[in-house]
Chains A and B, each alone.
Chain A
Amino acid sequence: MEDETLYEECERMIDEVLALTTREIKKWFKNPFLLFMMIIQPIMWMGLWGKALNLTGLVNIDTSRLPPEVLPQISRLMNEAVKSLFGTEDYFTYMAAGMLCVIVLFTAMFSGMSVVWDRRFGFLNKVLVAPIRRESIILAKVLSAVTRGLFQALLVFSIAFAFGLRLGSAFGPLDFIGMLSALFLLSLGLSSMFLAFAIRIKSHETVVALANLLNLPLMFTSSALMPVRQMPEWLKGVAHYNPITYAADTVRTFILHSQSLDIARLTTNFEFLIGFAAVLTAFGLILADRGLRKG
Chain B
Amino acid sequence: MAIIETRNLTKRFGKLVAVDRVSISVEEGEIFGFLGPNGAGKTTTINVLTTLLRPSEGSAAVAGLDVVKEDNRVRSIIGLVPQDLTVDEDLTGMENMLLQARLYHVPMSKAKPRIEEVLELLTLADAAGRKVETYSGGMRKRLELAEGLIHYPRVLFLDEPTLGLDVQTRVAMWDYIRKLRDEQKITVFLTTHYMEEADALCDRIAIIDRGRIIAQGTPHELKESLGGDIVEIVLEGDSRDIMAVLNSLPSVKEVKNTDDVYRIKVSQGEEALPSIIEKLLRKKIEIRRASLTEPTLDQVYLEYTGKSIRESGNGREDVWRMRHYMRSVRE
Q: Do A and B bind each other?
A: yes
Which A residues are closer than 8 A to B by beta carbons?
12, 15-16, 19-20, 23, 26-27, 30, 120-123, 125-132, 202, 293-295
Q: Which residues of A contact B181 (CB under 8 A)?
A: none
Q: Which residues of B contact A293 (CB under 8 A)?
A: 52-54
A19–B103 contact, CB under 8 A? Answer: yes
Which of chain B's residues 75-101 have a Cβ closer than 8 Å to chain A?
75-76, 78, 80, 82-86, 88, 90-91, 99-100
Shortest CB distance B314–A (Å):
17
A122–B85 contact, CB under 8 A? Answer: yes
**From A126, which residue of chain B is reached at the shortest CB distance?**
B86
Known A12-B105, A19-B103, A295-B13: A126·B80 in contact at CB below 8 Å: yes
Interface residues on chain B, number (Cβ under 8 Å): 32
Which B residues are closer than 8 A to A by beta carbons?
11, 13, 47, 50-54, 72-73, 75-76, 78, 80, 82-86, 88, 90-91, 99-100, 102-105, 147, 317, 321, 324
Shortest CB distance A27–B (Å):
6
Shortest CB distance B63–A (Å):
14
A125–B52 contact, CB under 8 A? Answer: yes
Shortest CB distance B97–A (Å):
13
B75–A121 contact, CB under 8 A? Answer: no
B86–A129 contact, CB under 8 A? Answer: no
Known A127-B103, A129-B50, A130-B103: A26·B90 in contact at CB below 8 Å: yes
A121–B86 contact, CB under 8 A? Answer: yes
A-B contact pairs, 11 of them (CB 8 A): A15-B105, A19-B102, A123-B86, A125-B52, A127-B103, A128-B51, A129-B50, A129-B52, A129-B78, A131-B105, A294-B47
A294–B105 contact, CB under 8 A? Answer: no
Shortest CB distance B43–A (Å):
10
Give the distance in Å from the alpha carbon of A109 to the alpha carbon of B103 in the complex: 26
Give the distance in Å from the alpha carbon of A77 to the alpha carbon of B264 in the complex: 103
Shortest CB distance B177–A (Å):
19
Give the distance in Å from the alpha carbon of A278 to the alpha carbon of B103 in the complex: 27
